[in-house]
Amino acid sequence: MAVRTLITGALVVTMDAADRVIEGGAVLVEGGKIERVGPVSDFAQLDQVRLETVNASGHILMPGLVNGHTHMGDSLFRGLVEDLPLEPWLERLWVSERQFLSYDTVRLGADLAIAEMIRGGITSALDMFWFPEAAADAAISAGFRLSTGPIMFDFEGPDGVAAEERPAHGELWLERYSGEPLIHPAVQPHQVLTVAPERIRLARQLANRHGAVFHAHCAETEAEVAGSVARFGRTPLAHLHHLGALDGAAALAHLVHLTDQDFGLLAESGAGALHNPLSNLKLGSGIAEVPRMLDRGIPVAIGTDGAVSSNDLDMWTAIRVAGLLQRGVHQDPLLTPARQTIRMATAGAADAIGLGEVTGRLTAGHRADLVLIDLDRVHLTPAFDPWPLLAYTVGRADVTDVMIEGTWVMRGRKLLTVDPAAAVAGARELGHRIAAHNAAHVAAHSGGADGRSES
């Protein structure tokens, strides 16, 4: 008989359709899913047999954060390449990735990233990187929910898979991880300038066969848009639409430079928009028109992007910037209200990456992915309204406990399923070699490499 968990006495932020907030609320978890949510009084007659009761008084209980777009393996290269526009930045990064990436090093980077994300209250993510099996294995080991899967490029990458072999390779990958409860399939062509039209069509077909989300970068920079128009006579988004890539579940990262036609196609397709405010700002790529997306009913997820382009995997900072950025740009304090911004990191994010029926909400039937936030903190007192508190004030250090699929993965700020010390030691040792290689390359070359990367 499975142990049930009753988390009681918290300020419960449900993120359900009505955005209910229950003061003195409780959540009952059994078999990895949420059984009931309501006031503590609703649970007075609950059978106590095999029941773990957690007193969460003085805490916010909310859905775990959903990181809408990241590259976990890139945590190995955090801070390596700085202060460059996207294209030359990618050139420098690609040199190190080609030299150092393998299953083992990507597994190390994934362990590092998952430890960072769990500590920050992230319970699921959509990840694109080389050796996705390393990320999947790390997630399974850590009890972390992950959307990932085969990537596609028009060149042989560090994984040694030739471009023409990637569809078949991807088929085998998806079959291998089918049925893993924490692994949700994604088929991931990088972007329209690095993946030929026919392979984009094959990626869509592969995603449809396996019930996977089609995940690609799109319209991140003006240079990408100009290149697409020059090569195909269409913007990146219009090109994906033309190829039928949006005929099914799809999630597109960045979407910074969209035309009026693009907005119409995006809304019509139902694809999710993956907003990465920190990396877009840092790389000078631009600012996505998120209010316009929301007005058109486009599901939006906030993402951290990779730690090499935003320097950390802190969703709370990304949430804050995503909310405030639009107000400054448009000089309108009513844009992206706090509640809407939190939705883009929970329920709305889950919708955008195809996990809306799985996670992102504290409602009966959803999987039990949830976090507790300590309110007994000087910077969180007094707590008049949970929405601005969550959107503008809460930080990673305020997260005390994290549950994924009904299992505690962090209790009392202590990670239970991943060894952060081992990940740090391994990444530090590898980092010395990466730094030496990068310094030698910079000294020997005035230009870059061939400019291809998954970031």
The amino acid sitting at 77 is F
Instruction: Give me the pLDDT at residue 455, please.
Output: 45
Q: Which domain holds residue 257?
A: 65-352
Instruction: Please check whether residues 111 and 13 belong to one and the same domain.
Output: no
* pLDDT < 70 positions in the chain: 1-2, 446-455
Region of 241 please: left (phi>0), alpha (psi -120 to 50) or beta.
alpha
CB atoms inside a 10 Å sphere around CB 59: 23
**Same domain (yes/no): 207, 260:** yes
* Domain-located, residue 437: no
Residues 319 and 335 in one domain: yes
CATH code, domain with 399: 2.30.40.10
Q: Are residues 95 and 217 in the same domain?
A: yes
For residue 127, being part of any structural domain is answered with yes
Those residues whose C-beta lies under 8 Å from the C-beta of residue 228, and which sit 6 or more positions away, are: 192, 193, 234, 235, 236, 239
**164 and 198 housed in the same domain:** yes
Cβ 43 vs Cβ 28: under 8 Å: yes
Specify the pLDDT at position 445: 81
Measured N-to-C along each axis, helices 132-142 and 166-177 cross at an angle, to the nearest 10 degrees, of 10
Q: What is the DSSP letter of 367?
A: B
Q: Is residue 426 part of a domain?
A: no
**Same domain flag for 306 and 266:** yes
CA distance 136 to 125: 11
Residue 384, Ramachandran bin (φ over 0: left; ψ between -120 and 50: alpha; else beta): alpha
Q: pTM of the predicted model, to two decimals? A: 0.96
Q: Are 273 and 300 in contact (CB under 8 A)?
A: yes
For residue 168, the tally of other CB atoms under 10 A from its CB is: 13
How high is the pLDDT of residue 314?
A: 99
Same-domain check for residues 303 and 182: yes
DSSP 198-225: HHHHHHHHHHHHHTPEEEEEES-SHHHH
Same domain, 251 and 126: yes
Tell whether 109 and 28 lie within a shared domain: no
Last residue of a domain, one of 333, 352, 371: 352
- Which residue from 27, 17, 24 is spatially nearest to 54, judged by alpha carbons? 27
Last residue of a domain, one of 328, 352, 376: 352
Q: Do 57 and 169 reside in the same domain of the chain?
A: no
Locate tokens 């697409």: which residue?
228
For residues 331 and 405, state if they share a domain.
no
| pLDDT per position as a tens digit, 286-306 | 999 999 999 999 999 999 999
Name residue, tokens 């995997």. 313
Place of tokens 């848009």: 225
Can you give the pLDDT at residue 2? 67
pLDDT given for residue 87 in this prediction:
78
The residue type of 293 is M
* CATH number reported for the structural domain that contains residue 214 in this entry: 3.20.20.140
CA-CA distances (angstroms) from residue 270 to 237, 285, 323? 13, 24, 23
CA pair distance 62, 360, nearest whole angstrom: 9
Same-domain pairing of 100 and 143: yes
For residue 451, being part of any structural domain is answered with no
Q: What's residue 452's pLDDT?
A: 43
Q: Is residue 132 part of a domain?
A: yes
Residue 430 within any structural domain of the chain: no
Report helix, strand or coil for 354: coil
Residue 441, pLDDT score: 87
C-beta atoms surrounding 393 within 10 Å: 15
Q: How many CA atoms lie within 13 A of 110 on its CB side?
A: 31
pLDDT tens digits along 152-185: 999 899 999 999 999 999 999 999 999 999 999 9
Residue 302 lies in a domain: yes
CB atoms within 10 A of CB 230: 9
The number of domains in the chain is 2
Last residue of a domain, one of 300, 325, 352: 352
Q: Which residues of 9-30 are buried (b: 16+ CB within 10 A; e: fewer)?
A: bbbbbbbeeeeebbeebbbbbb
Q: Is residue 428, in this structure, part of any structural domain at all?
A: no
